Chain A
Amino acid sequence: EAGVTQSPTHLIKTRGQQATLRCSPISGHTSVYWYQQALGLGLQFLLWYDEGEERNRGNFPPRFSGRQFPNYSSELNVNALELEDSALYLCASSLPTGDSEQYFGPGTRLTVT
């Protein structure tokens, strides 16, 4: 069974630009979660989508946004990039309940110069 997939693997952007990151969940999983892992800050929760709806949002500014498509894949958009947005962005998926285990994709390494 295929795991969570993310694209691109690496992304290099300039400060002020926009970045779009994509995630496809495990088949049968309808919940998608986005996390940021920045150096020295650990894994921080960004967003949770389920059945196309945003269920919860972490303590991040509004320039971090996303959406979930009818096929349950998801997109994370980061506008007006800042240098401190450089991090590994991880997508995880789980079964619909919101109480089940989360499985991570390989991540997208975003570098802002």
Chain B
Amino acid sequence: QKEVEQNSGPLSVPEGAIASLNCTYSDRGSQSFFWYRQYSGKSPELIMFIYSNGDKEDGRFTAQLNKASQYVSLLIRDSQPSDSATYLCAVRGRWGGKLIFGQGTELSVKP
């Protein structure tokens, strides 16, 4: 079992729709959860982080964390073609420091 798992996609949504990206993790002691966006040929850009159970909203982005189910998700409302990228879920374990990344989900937003 991989430590952090994501559907590789591609996930295709029409412009204006809600994109839902999902991530599960294996270490129940994990403390912090991050979503990065990576455009092709570029480095990852931090877009959301969440440390407590529940929802956290920032503009069009909502991160949701359920530690009991070991599940974290990212919702993108009113998706735009510029949101087309690979979204990386990252988890920091109980010992701090390093991030463990999923393989990423490729999102394509069609005009």
Question: Which residues in A have some Cβ–Cβ distance to B below 8 Å?
Answer: 31, 33, 35, 42-45, 48, 55-56, 58, 88, 90, 97-99, 101-107
Contacts and interface: CB of A to CB of B under 8 A. Distances in A.
B31 interface: yes
Interface in B83-111: 88, 90, 92, 95-104
B97 A42 contact: no
A48 B49 contact: no
Given A99-B32, A102-B46, A107-B43, A48 B97 contact: yes
A98 to B, nearest CB: 4
Given A43-B88, A43-B101, A48-B98, A101 B49 contact: yes
B91 to A, nearest CB: 11
B25 interface: no
B42 interface: yes
A2 B85 CA distance: 24
A25 B81 CA distance: 31
B46 A101 contact: yes
Nearest to B96: A98
Main secondary structure on A side of the interface with B? strand
B6 to A, nearest CB: 10
20 contacts: A33-B98, A35-B99, A42-B101, A45-B98, A45-B99, A45-B100, A48-B97, A48-B98, A56-B97, A58-B98, A90-B44, A97-B96, A98-B97, A99-B31, A99-B32, A101-B49, A104-B36, A104-B44, A104-B45, A106-B43
Nearest to B44: A104
Nearest to B51: A99
Given A42-B104, A99-B32, A104 B98 contact: no
B108 to A, nearest CB: 19
Contacts of A101: 34, 46, 49
Nearest 6 Cβ contacts at the A-B interface: A43-B101, A45-B98, A98-B96, A104-B43, A107-B43, A48-B97
B46 A42 contact: no
